[in-house]
Amino acid sequence: MTKNKAGKKVAKQAARKKTKSPASRRKVGTRAKRLPHDSVYRKTILPNGLTVVSESHGQFQSLSMGIWVKVGTRHERAREAGISHFLEHMLFKGTEKRTALDIAREVDQVGGEFNAFTSREYTCFHLLLLKRDMALGMDLLNDILLHSTFDAQEFEREKKVILQEISMVEESPEEMVHDLYFELVYGKHGLGCPILGTERSVKRSKRGDLTRYFHKHYRPDQLVVAVAGDVSHQAVCKELKELSKKQWHGRTLESHEPAALAFEPAPQLKDGCWWIKRSTEQVHLIWGVEAQKYNSKDRYAASLLNVYLGGGMSSELFQEIREKNALAYTVYSSLSPFVDSGVFTIYAATAMHQVPLCIKLIEECVEKLKRDLLSDEDLRSVKENLKGTILLSSDSVESRMSSIALNEIFMDDYTTAEELCEEIDQVSAAEIRAVARRIFSTGKRSILALGPQPTKAVKEKLKPNFPKKYQ
């Protein structure tokens, strides 16, 4: 999910290009693109289907590398809820030649960082090291992907760790309300599954289920290796060693459709108003609508709309809800695009009796965007905001590594930061208004409130908007 609270990730939505057909992605070979400041982008598809992308920057001492797997919670069946995330944990728990402690020590001893995360459509394992330690990083990635043992005792221990992680999220209302929102609007579809799984699904998971899922989805044709920093693309490909083999240990290349395409199409978002009771001081509110997918032609206009509406202290929502009306301390908008769908949400935390007014102001801000063109000054401001975010992030090797990987996964293309800024400059106020009218005029919106039992007065104020949907 792309939150605007800090404005750090908005640029990712703007970094998407038009998706090409799956067949066009399988062309084996290497291509290069010269970038500004003596940087070079290269891409190689190895004979076994593994994709390698790199961006060489001579000015960096650090090196960021990651393996991105095209599998996330939307690929899980109901009984597998949380298995992608569980698998992410287990790949750090020991290989045939390294214990979990060995993995941690080897990275710590060189001052590096090794971490991972799971999303709804992909999983990433990423390292930050000095450029001199590239061989170590590549060896670790090779090792955990091909020689993890999935030790039975470690498996049972990690169950307890994940259950603690679930409990931690449940004690964070802001995180919890987002998970619940996706569950409600997507229902039993994979996009609605909680990334961590549920207490029940984690407790009943079996080691055999995990290894089968691993062998099914962790295949060369479903992986992207991405590296950014002062690095040679040829050296990266050479260090991949076993990952470049035609057949991996314990696995075969299957003839069916790629696993990343083997998911149910996203359903339309359910509209309605839900109030889920929790013992919290505030009501945590999400107002959301269906939005565009990753490769939408409107992605730049949508990103600018997101910045204008909820992208910082000068945003429309922040000014109206916090500064002028003192209804909330935290308020922001989020754009969450997927392969075939997307969600635009607005989050605010407020007192129970202020929920109806908060919703009213949100919808007034939305209606204003549908009705009026942004002024020249506002348009210039949001463009400079988004371009600044993109250019600042381009100074980070971790950000560059993520950018080239995500562009490859979702767009099968590459775009420089300068090219993104040029695209943003071309967006007109009329295009932003057109996007607002398209996503905010469907007549459907989903509202979730997480907090204490609403009073009768609050219920009555909410019912006119949702006479048949209120729960």
List, for residues 327-367, the tens digit of each pLDDT value: 999 999 999 999 999 999 999 999 999 999 999 999 999 99
In contact, 461 and 187? CB cutoff 8 Å: no
Per-residue pLDDT at 413: 86
Percent above pLDDT 70 for the chain = 87
Active site annotation includes 88: yes
Q: What is the CATH number of domain 272-404+412-462?
A: 3.30.830.10
Query: How far, CA to CA in Å, does 47 sit from each of 94, 111, 324?
Result: 29, 34, 60
Indicate the pLDDT class of residue 38, thresholds 50, 70 and 90: low
Helices (H) and strands (E) in the chain, counts: 17, 13
pLDDT in tens, 44-91: 999 999 999 999 988 889 999 999 999 999 999 888 999 999 999 999
Per-residue pLDDT at 78: 83
pLDDT of residue 319 exceeding 60, the answer is yes
pLDDT in tens, 393-420: 988 999 999 999 999 999 988 888 899 9
Query: What is the rounded average pLDDT for all residues in the chain?
Result: 88
Average pLDDT of the segment spanning 276-288: 95
Domains of the chain, residue spans: 20-261, 272-404+412-462
Instruction: Decide whether 20-261 matches 272-404+412-462 in CATH topology.
Output: yes
Per-residue pLDDT at 249: 64
Residue 224 and residue 236: Cα distance in Å, rounded?
13
More reliable by pLDDT, 249 or 322: 322
Residue 290 and residue 185: Cα distance in Å, rounded?
10
Per-residue pLDDT at 469: 45
Q: Is the dihedral of CA 127, 259, 191, 53 positive or negative?
A: positive
In one-letter notation, the amino acid at residue 244 is S
Secondary structure class of 184 (helix, strand, coil): helix
- Active-site entry in 55, 76, 88, 121: 88
Which tokens is 228 given?
């950014």
Q: What is the CATH number of domain 20-261?
A: 3.30.830.10
pLDDT of residue 18 exceeding 60, the answer is no
pLDDT in tens, 213-231: 999 999 999 999 999 999 9
Per-residue pLDDT at 461: 86
Indicate the pLDDT class of residue 30, thresholds 50, 70 and 90: low
In contact, 359 and 447? CB cutoff 8 Å: yes
Ordered DSSP codes for 69-108: ES--GGG--GGGTTHHHHHHHHTTS-BSS--HHHHHHHHH
Average pLDDT of the segment spanning 165-180: 96
Residue 387 and residue 367: Cα distance in Å, rounded?
26
32-41, 252-261, 291-300, 421-430 — most confident range? 421-430
pLDDT of residue 203 exceeding 50, the answer is yes
